[in-house]
A = this chain, B = another copy of it.
Amino acid sequence: MQGQEILPAIAAHLLDSARANGGKAPSERDLAEHFSVSRGQVREALAILESMQVIERRAKSGIYVNTDKSGFEAMAFFARAGIPLENRQIYEAVEVRKIHEIKAAELAAVRATEEDFERLQDVLERSEQRIAAGEGIDALDQEFHLQIVRATQNTLFLSICTSFYELGRQRLEVYFRDPDRNRKSHEEHKQIYEALVKRDAALTSALMVSHLRGVMSYWTELLEPHAPGS
């Protein structure tokens, strides 16, 4: 075990220990020994964890895990670290993604530049090629949606949405193993693109709504019911 790869391991270990110990985590020295790395390494990981508000380091006392804050910082971290989210978190992420993308489509219709259109068209062309070759378009689907967000010209908006995409990567891969789904998605993308070029905000938004309904239902139907009606 070495390098920054220990971060998720340490995080998981911290969470477990804290759960079994009322929020209190092992000491830095224990962690270093447990993972066979230097204390410096551990401290770097802990600094990141603390910056994400996953833990709290109290001088001369110990490390405490914020068990209650299942918030965005924590999620962003787990997404990066590749630790699977719980059902509830997935529901929440799906809902938030919907909210963002529908609005993004609306804004993009008004603000998209020529370069944005070119980038979108490029994505569509590459999708077509992959479909023709019988391959999945999961990565390109992601790219298409992100390009639309990018076309809002709001970099903050883009960053938020980028984070969400990390969450769904695995599921997306499975989703696009079905050739029919690939074609259907691609067709809908093309429609959205055309509405976008016409700068018809209402239509673009509406198309995005129905497009997401299909994709998202795949996500959620695999889960236990958890979120309140939506």
Chain A residues close to B by CB (< 8 Å): 4, 40, 43-45, 47-48, 51-52, 69-73, 75-77, 80, 89, 92-93, 95-96, 99-100, 103, 107, 110-111, 153-160, 162-163, 227-230
Contact B72 A160 (CB under 8 A): yes
Please, which residue of chain B has its CB at the minimum distance from the CB of A93?
A: B156
CA distance A75 to B138 in the complex (A): 29
Complex Cα distance A230/B156, Å?
Answer: 15
Counting every copy of the chain, the complex holds 2
Given contacts A48-B48, A48-B51, A92-B154, 17 further A-B contacts (CB under 8 A): A40-B43, A45-B47, A47-B48, A51-B80, A69-B159, A70-B155, A71-B158, A72-B156, A72-B160, A73-B159, A89-B156, A92-B157, A99-B100, A99-B157, A107-B230, A153-B228, A160-B160
The distance in angstroms between the C-alpha atoms of A24 and B104, with both chains bound, is 34
- In the complex, the chain B residue whose C-beta lies closest to that of A110 is B229
In the bound complex, CA of A47 to CA of B44 (Å)? 6
Distance to closest chain B CB from A105 (angstroms): 12
Inter-chain contact A95/B157, CB cutoff 8 Å: yes
Contact residue among B40, B75, B158 (Cβ-Cβ distance under 8 Å from A156): B75
